[in-house]
Amino acid sequence: MQETETLDKNRYLIMGALCSGIAAISHLGCIVFGGDWYRFFGAGEQMAVMSEQGSLYPAIVTFLIVVVLSLWCLYGLSGARVILRLPLLRLGLCVISFIYLLRGVAFVGIMPLFPENGLMFWLISSGVCLSVGGLYAIGTYQCWHVLGSNDS
């Protein structure tokens, strides 16, 4: 029975990876489609206006977020044994879980830094981060023994 369990793909990590992938694609959409997408996804009026004025700043910042979210997607898939094993897999999955969960609960402290974003944005985005962080954390816990400790 345990042999079968170790060969199965971890559904929680697959779902977490899928969420990270969707978030990466959504951010990429902001770069491609501009100001209206920045507004819709709660990036704030300043980012939307800068994008509409042709500033590279929003695109660069958003592209960095796309890269990070894409890496997180790959780490989730790697932990779920869907793709090849990535380096520092245990550590990576723990850090990803922690960052998502921290973002989910720390929104109260972050809110004053982004006064343009309404309470609804913070509640929805924080709920999403808590959910995705939970997927990564549960998935990581479930397959901890399979991940091994050869992450050097």
In this predicted structure, what is the pLDDT of residue 43? 86
- Could you tell me which of 14, 16, 23 has the C-alpha nearest to residue 136? 16
| Inter-CA distances, 28 with 50, 75, 81, 91, 105, Å | 16, 19, 26, 27, 25
Please give the structure tokens belonging to residue 139: 């998935």
CB 64 within 8 A of CB 106: no
% of the chain exceeding 70 in pLDDT: 93
Q: φ, ψ for residue 53 (rounded to 5)?
A: -85, 0
pLDDT exceeds cutoff 80 at 135: yes
Residues 74-120: pLDDT tens digits?
A: 999 999 999 999 999 999 999 999 999 999 999 999 999 888 788 88
In this predicted structure, what is the pLDDT of residue 113? 86
